[in-house]
Amino acid sequence: MNIYDIIFYLFAAITILSAFFVVTTRNIVYSAYYLLFTFFGVAGIYVLLGADFIAIVQLIVYVGGILILLLFGVMLTNKITNVEIRSGSIQIVPAAVGVALFAGIVMASMLNTKWKNIETAMPSATTQGIGLLLIQQYAVVFELLGILLLVALIGAASMARK
């Protein structure tokens, strides 16, 4: 077991445990904070997969943007008198059974598949390659995503201000 494996299991444990707490903790604010650890763990897994640029984007966009947005959503939709913002769960048992069944089926079929496993050499910095792909092969998609973000921003602002 080398250092790579140890770091992988560490990040995997952080990700899965905090994701479990996200969906089971009754206090929504705590859920949002556990989501922070999930995003950090996923960013670590991206680094282990050689995707350094995506890991940084994950930290900036998810932790710096989406998580703050979610926290504002929690705060704006609750009558806050203290930090105890509780929200119940429903249908826990059937959902747990169904989800466990689903995960079991997916994992069984996944582990029994012979993946064509070509392990390429650990890539070096990916930023230049991603930038070139974004302005060459995916230029149209990139521009469309820019328009989509603008439309989403205007739509969200006008909807929330009404």
- Interactions with other proteins, residue window 2-61 (CB under 8 A): 4-5, 8, 12, 15-16, 19-20, 22-23, 28, 31-32, 35, 38-39, 42, 45-46, 49-51, 53-54, 57-58, 61
Chosen residue from 133, 135, 139, 143 binding other proteins by CB under 8 A: 133
Quick one: tokens of 29?
Answer: 């604010």
Distance CA 108, CA 70 (A): 34
Distance CA 150, CA 53 (A): 23
By the rule CB under 8 A, 136 interacts with other proteins: no
Burial class (CB in 10 A: 0-12, 13-18, 19+), 47: middle
Of residues 108 through 127, those in contact with other proteins by CB under 8 A are 110-111, 115-120, 123, 126
Chosen residue from 84, 102, 139, 143 binding other proteins by CB under 8 A: 102
Name residues whose C-beta falls within 8 Å of residue 125's C-beta, 6 or more positions apart in sequence: 52, 53
Q: Which long-range contacts (CB under 8 A, 24 or more apart) does 1-6 make?
A: 4/48
- Least CB distance from residue 122 to other proteins, whole Å? 9
- Least CB distance from residue 116 to other proteins, whole Å? 7
By the rule CB under 8 A, 96 interacts with other proteins: yes
Quick one: tokens of 135?
Answer: 């302005």
By the rule CB under 8 A, 73 interacts with other proteins: yes
